[in-house]
Amino acid sequence: MSELTLRQWLLTDAPTSRRHARLASLYQGWLTLRGNTMAMFGLGILIALVLMALMAPLLAPYDPFVQDLSNRLQPLGTEGHLLGTDSLGRDILSRLIYGSRITLYIVALVALIAPVAGLLVGTVAGYAGGWVDVVLMRITDIFLAFPRLVLALAFVAALGAGIENAVLAISLTAWPPYARIARAETLTIRSSDYISAIRLQGAGPLRIITKHIWPLCISSLIVRVTLDMAGIILAAAGLGFLGLGAQPPSPEWGAMISEGRRFILDHWWVATMPGLAIFTVSLAFNLLGDGLRDVLDPKDDNR
């Protein structure tokens, strides 16, 4: 048995330590995910995006802010400017590469704020029940009733245009659905035997919510967030397009489309290239989300 390979060690049905058990179950999940070609495709794109953002200065052929008015609106495939240049003669490829940083920044911030807020509100409402549930869910309903862009507009108008405020505005409108999901999950989990069992050991609500309900809610939230990411990127791009998100000369993809729209008939690539970038990343998130759903579904026996 000393000839145990790493793979066998990870695939065991009889883990020998806490760490072993955790690693083994992670590996099982990874294998399931790996079996899903489309999800791997999505993951590949996202990893490429992260690498691109990290190594932007190395990858980008030009400074994204340097203008060259003599060289403006060059078409695709121009010598030195693979994706052409925009109205101020800036290299579109370089701007796209630097723009990935902003996209990731937005995605990361929203992913940190909205689901966490939703999880807190939803699980507390679902577990406590009674008037706590009523109050929290009515607040959720109020937020749900606001049109996302209008609320974001109001928010940005109050705090000033800028990427952070745009993120806050998006998060503020994005958390209610997560609260709904978390509450629905909590309601089914709450009445299950394993929750009754731990209550009979004298566990308090705080422990039950954080240690027993959260681990089960988080997986479906992760899936949902991944699937929503496309919408969030689009919302951020939309705010950028309206001039309320990232401000020029920032190479945010939505703002780039907005700038390019003036030339859309004669110089279509200026708006199309950032559009394609948004499309690709959104699609990647959707594909990955679908794959994650297969892996993280707690009802699955992982066989």
Partner 1 sequence: MTALQIDTLDVWFGDGYDRVDAVKGASFAVAEGESFGLVGESGSGKSTILRAITGLAPAWSGSIIVEGMALTGRKRNRAFYKTVQMVFQDPYASLHPRHTVDQVLSETLTLHGLTDIDTRVMKLLDDVGLGGKFRFRYPHQLSGGQRQRVAIARALAGEPDILLLDEPTSALDVSVQAEILNLLTDLRDEHGLTYLMVSHDLAVIGHMCDRLAVMKEGEIVEVMTADTLRQNNAQHPYSRELLNASIVA
Partner 2 sequence: MTLLDVENLWVKFPTRQGVFDAVRGVSFTLGKERLGIVGESGSGKSMTGRAILRLIRKPGIVEADRIALEGRNLLDLSEREMRAVRGQQISMIMQDPKFSLNPVMRVGDQLMEAYLLHNNTSKAQARAKSIDMLNAVSIRDAERVMRAYPHEVSGGMGQRIMIAMMLIPDPKILIADEPTSALDVSVQRQVLDIMDGLVKERGMGLIFISHDLNLVSEFCDRVLIMYAGRIVEVCDAGKLHEAQHPYTRGLLNSLPRLDQPRKYLDVLARDESWADAPSVGGQA
Q: Which residues bind partner 1 (CB under 8 A)?
A: 13-18, 20-21, 25, 192-194, 196-203, 207, 211-212, 215-216, 298, 301-303
Q: Which does 3 bind (CB under 5 to 8 A by kind): partner 1, partner 2, none?
A: none
Closest approach, Cβ 303 to partner 2, in A, equals 7
Closest approach, Cβ 22 to partner 1, in A, equals 8
Closest approach, Cβ 183 to partner 2, in A, equals 24
Identity of the residue, 5 or 201, whose beta carbon is nearer to partner 2 in the bound complex: 5
Q: SS3 for 247?
A: coil
Q: Which does 301 bind (CB under 5 to 8 A by kind): partner 1, partner 2, none?
A: partner 1
Neighbouring residues of 225: CB distance < 8 A, sequence distance ≥ 6: 111, 114, 115, 178
Identity of the residue, 195 or 284, whose beta carbon is nearer to partner 1 in the bound complex: 195
Q: Which does 38 bind (CB under 5 to 8 A by kind): partner 1, partner 2, none?
A: none
Angle between helix 269-296 and 92-128 (nearest 10): 40
Q: Which does 25 bind (CB under 5 to 8 A by kind): partner 1, partner 2, none?
A: partner 1
Q: Which does 70 bind (CB under 5 to 8 A by kind): partner 2, partner 1, none?
A: none
CA 230-233-238 angle, 5° bins? 120
* Burial group, residue 161, by CB count within 10 angstroms (0-12, 13-18, 19+): middle
Helix, strand and coil in the chain, % to nearest 5: 75, 0, 25
* Burial group, residue 142, by CB count within 10 angstroms (0-12, 13-18, 19+): exposed
Closest approach, Cβ 52 to partner 1, in A, equals 34
Q: SS3 for 78?
A: strand
Identity of the residue, 68 or 297, whose beta carbon is nearer to partner 2 in the bound complex: 297
Identity of the residue, 16 or 37, whose beta carbon is nearer to partner 1 in the bound complex: 16
Q: Which does 4 bind (CB under 5 to 8 A by kind): partner 2, partner 1, none?
A: none
DSSP for 81-146, written as a single string:
BTT-B-TT--BHHHHHHHHHHHHHHHHHHHHHHHHHHHHHHHHHHHHH-HHHHHHHHHHHHHHHHS
d(CA 119, CA 298): 17
Please, are residues 238 and 278 in contact by the beta-carbon 8 Å criterion? no
Please, are residues 169 and 142 in contact by the beta-carbon 8 Å criterion? no
Identity of the residue, 8 or 37, whose beta carbon is nearer to partner 1 in the bound complex: 8
What stretch of H or E contains 283? helix 269-296
Please, are residues 226 and 294 in contact by the beta-carbon 8 Å criterion? no
Closest approach, Cβ 301 to partner 1, in A, equals 5
Closest approach, Cβ 24 to partner 2, in A, equals 12
Q: Which does 31 bind (CB under 5 to 8 A by kind): partner 2, partner 1, none?
A: partner 2
Q: Which does 194 bind (CB under 5 to 8 A by kind): partner 2, partner 1, none?
A: partner 1
- Give the binding site for partner 2 (CB under 8 A): 11, 31, 303
Identity of the residue, 20 or 72, whose beta carbon is nearer to partner 1 in the bound complex: 20
Region of 97 on the Ramachandran plot (φ > 0 left; ψ -120 to 50 alpha; else beta): alpha
Identity of the residue, 34 or 262, whose beta carbon is nearer to partner 2 in the bound complex: 34
Identity of the residue, 19 or 303, whose beta carbon is nearer to partner 2 in the bound complex: 303
